[in-house]
Structure 1
Amino acid sequence: MYTIKSFVIASLLVGATGFAQDNLVNSLKINASENSKAAFQFTDVVNVENTSIKNQGSSGTCWSYSANSFLESEMIRMGKKPVELSQIFSARNAYVEKGRNYVRMHGATTLGDGGAFHDVINMYKKYGAVPQSVYTGLNYGTDKNKFAEMGALTEAFLKAVVTNPNGELTPNWEKAYAAIIDSYLGQTPKSFDYNGKKYTPESFAKEVVGINADDYVEISSLQEYPYYSKFVLMVPDNWSYDQVYNVKMNELTDIIDNALKTGYTVAWAGDVSEKSFSWKNGVAFVPEKKPEDMTAEEKADLFNGPKKEAVVTEEMRQKAFDNYTTTDDHGMHIVGISKDQNGKEYYIVKNSWGATNDYKGYLYMSKEFAKYKATAILLHKKAVPAAIASKLKV
């Protein structure tokens, strides 16, 4: 069973409702120190171009915001003018597919509005893409996403379907299910005008976005599976049972470093519920002493400048995954590397909670935290270092 932490917090990325996301953000407000920004001196080493900060509102759609932000940076890398892609177009299509999967599995799988990075890639491949201006997902008067009511209705509806009250499913349940989603998010356009030209979602993806969905790989690291092979990442919102590549833990940061230094960005999924993650202060690291063992003074000072870190091991990482202290509760977009005044490197991470923290929507995540708390990363296969890519056969 879920712990209280994983039940209440755990799925901003995986199976989350808008209520769960609000609880997560509110819970992280207490993880802050008074003089943090003044006590850190960050200097950029690499900062790959990316698009503006967005706000996912009260929805568990971080996976779609971060993966679409990643695709926008891919457009820039390819020399294209970036377009803000509709995050809710990806999410809406994933919800339809997730509902079909739920019924096919007789209800024995995850619901909720969370998801994974591969959902965005899979939906792009199947349905195409549209600009955010064409499909906002704001169909009932709100200026931000607010999905709790929709989630409650779709869950109740699908649970009714799988009870099979007629003794045989009708083909109409899919239409009714999609109609509930569309009443909240709006119907997706069959065609639309953009910059004076008419597109379908498929032609827009091909002609304007221009990425090849098959060029992207998801990578994780768990001791329980053979390295350099693929496995199904067993987290609640891998509802499509996609496989990820398995590498050694330290290779996760080797891969991220190589990507950033060669002009690629990386989507990062992982756990941000640690007390050493401060959204307000925009800093995440792995302290030498566990927060529960700290004095009140040490806790108050936790984010006031650089601190010594614990050295994370593969055994620590596997244990945290096994005991639910690492859950896939959030997805973000790594766009650069920065150094503090002591020369320690951190990743520059773009979030989707608006520009509400010390760094206007960005945060600095230590490499120890990134590899310790990651559940998976997504990147272009050419961004993987050659030696690792050879072992993975990508």
Structure 2
Amino acid sequence: MNRITSFLLSALLLVSCSMPWGKQQDEKRKPRKFTTEVMLRYTPVKDQGRSPLCWAYSMLATIETEHIMMGDSVNLSIDYVTRKLLAEQARCHFLSRGYDRVTLRGTMPLLLRLLNEYGAMPYDSYNNPSINYNSIAKRIGVLSNTSVDMSQLAARAERLFDERIGALPKKVYMLGAEYTPEEFAHSVCMRSEYMAMTSFTHHPFGDSFVLEVPDNYSDEFFYNVPIDVMMKRIERSIRRGHPVCWEGDISENGFSFAHGIADLPNDRPCTQQERQKAFETRRTTDDHCMTLIGIAHDQNGRRYYIAKNSWGTDNPYGGFMYVSENYIRLKTIAIVVKSI
């Protein structure tokens, strides 16, 4: 791979999760009409900006909808989780002498692990929508390379976070009760409540394995099932009031944020073998995460899943997207669902 090709590939990976492809490239058109069958409740649509934090936004949105459907009012802080992620990565980068990179990328189960280890905060307690996390991540790498020991690095990183993001509250207050961040996180989400699933034939069905995609640097495990089983699980979860965190490919021409639609040119069900071939030949890539919170159908009766995105509200459906069932079937890399 020459230097120019390597640079272009790196640039593509950077924007894949953060750049609203259709929003940048397509002109808006009249919205298509859909009939909603199921629509779960949700917190306001957020905007991740140019950060590649879609995996964290979508998993937090999944937890939020899960609680709202149970009657709780929960809106979680992305900034708290990202701060803890960067502090952890500063430590790993220092101890590995730069071998472990500082990155904002990840997969959905990583968010569950961060909540379990470091806790959570409500959105209103700790949020700063104007942060450039890409810049902070670069600065963390510099601090790691120039610190003489762990204590110095930790102190310098905390000062950076306080200056750029804001000082952390010492306690979490919710509905008149006081929590530590860890206590609050465990009150809204236990890691064991969720299952990460995928569907590929290069590992046996019924087993869990570390999914081989670039963003899974934390070696998260995914339970492998046939695609028909996964599709039934997605539909059953939503119809029972449980959102689904979705991770998959958005590089298809039929994926347009500006139009609020994702479908395939030849929108037909794919086979398990076709899914595998698209993955192995890199026609299905791990680009983006969203939260599936509804089911609808178009005027021809074709099923679509309603996805809550994290690119703001500037599209015909207020930031939501209608993703065809066949798009989900072919282009899904993985999902996280409530263990029901």
Q: Same fold (TM over 0.5)?
A: yes
How far the C-alpha of 1:174 sits from its partner, in A, is 3.7
What residue is the counterpart of 1:316 in the other structure?
A: 274
Of 111, 120, 130, the match for 2:111? 120
Q: Cα deviations across residues 282-331 of structure 1 (Å, max 9, x unaligned)?
A: 1101112xxxxxxxxxxxxxxxxxxxx14323333223333333332211
Matched, 1:184 2:175: no
Check whether the contact 1:50–1:72 (CA below 8 A) recurs between aligned residues: yes
Q: Cα deviations across residues 268-295 of structure 1 (Å, max 9, x unaligned)?
A: 011212211010111101112xxxxxxx
How far the C-alpha of 1:189 sits from its partner, in A, is 2.6
Matched, 1:147 2:133: yes
**In percent, how many aligned pairs have the same letter?**
31
What residue is the counterpart of 1:29 in the other structure?
A: 24
What residue is the counterpart of 1:9 in the other structure?
A: 12
AA in 2 matched with 1:131: P
How far the C-alpha of 1:373 sits from its partner, in A, is 1.6
What residue is the counterpart of 1:303 in the other structure?
A: none
AA in 1 matched with 2:246: W
What residue is the counterpart of 1:276 in the other structure?
A: 254
Which ranges in structure 1 are unaligned for 5 or more consecutive residues? 289-308, 383-394
What residue is the counterpart of 2:228 in the other structure?
A: 250
Query: 2: CA distance between counterparts of 1:72 and 1:214?
Result: 16
Query: 2: CA distance between counterparts of 1:117 and 1:86?
Result: 16
Aligned residues: 337
| Matches for 1:102-121 after TM superposition, within 5 Å | 102-121=93-112
Check whether the contact 1:66–1:331 (CA below 8 A) recurs between aligned residues: yes
Query: 2: CA distance between counterparts of 1:212 and 1:314?
Result: 32
Q: Cα deviations across residues 155-178 of structure 1 (Å, max 9, x unaligned)?
A: 3334556xxxx7xx5553344344
How far the C-alpha of 1:56 sits from its partner, in A, is 1.7
What residue is the counterpart of 1:130 in the other structure?
A: 121
Q: Cα deviations across residues 233-263 of structure 1 (Å, max 9, x unaligned)?
A: 1222222211111111232211101101111
Give the superposed CA RMSD.
Answer: 2.5
What residue is the counterpart of 1:368 in the other structure?
A: 326
Matched, 1:157 2:143: yes
AA in 2 matched with 1:9: L
Check whether the contact 2:46–2:311 (CA below 8 A) recurs between aligned residues: yes
Check whether the contact 1:10–1:328 (CA below 8 A) recurs between aligned residues: no
How far the C-alpha of 1:228 sits from its partner, in A, is 1.1
SS at match of 1:267: strand
What residue is the counterpart of 2:49 in the other structure?
A: 57
Larger CA deviation: 101-110 vs 126-135 = 101-110
- Pair 1:12–1:204, CA change in 2 (3 A): farther
Query: 2: CA distance between counterparts of 1:3 and 1:257?
Result: 39
Check whether the contact 1:218–1:244 (CA below 8 A) recurs between aligned residues: yes
- Pair 1:34–1:74, CA change in 2 (3 A): closer
AA in 1 matched with 2:70: M
SS at match of 2:204: coil
Of 184, 193, 207, the match for 1:215? 193
Q: Cα deviations across residues 152-202 of structure 1 (Å, max 9, x unaligned)?
A: 2123334556xxxx7xx5553344344434432234333144444432212
AA in 2 matched with 1:185: I
Check whether the contact 2:116–2:186 (CA below 8 A) recurs between aligned residues: no
- Pair 1:314–1:187, CA change in 2 (3 A): farther
Query: 2: CA distance between counterparts of 1:94 and 1:227?
Result: 32
SS at match of 1:10: helix
Matched, 1:325 2:305: no
AA in 2 matched with 1:184: R
SS at match of 1:364: strand
Matched, 1:356 2:336: no
Check whether the contact 1:11–1:329 (CA below 8 A) recurs between aligned residues: no
TM-score by length of 2: 0.89
- Pair 1:177–1:324, CA change in 2 (3 A): farther
What residue is the counterpart of 1:45 in the other structure?
A: 37
SS at match of 1:46: strand
What residue is the counterpart of 1:299 in the other structure?
A: none
SS at match of 1:214: helix
Query: 2: CA distance between counterparts of 1:248 and 1:101?
Result: 36
TM-score by length of 1: 0.78
Check whether the contact 1:266–1:335 (CA below 8 A) recurs between aligned residues: yes
Which ranges in structure 2 are unaligned for 5 or more consecutive residues? none
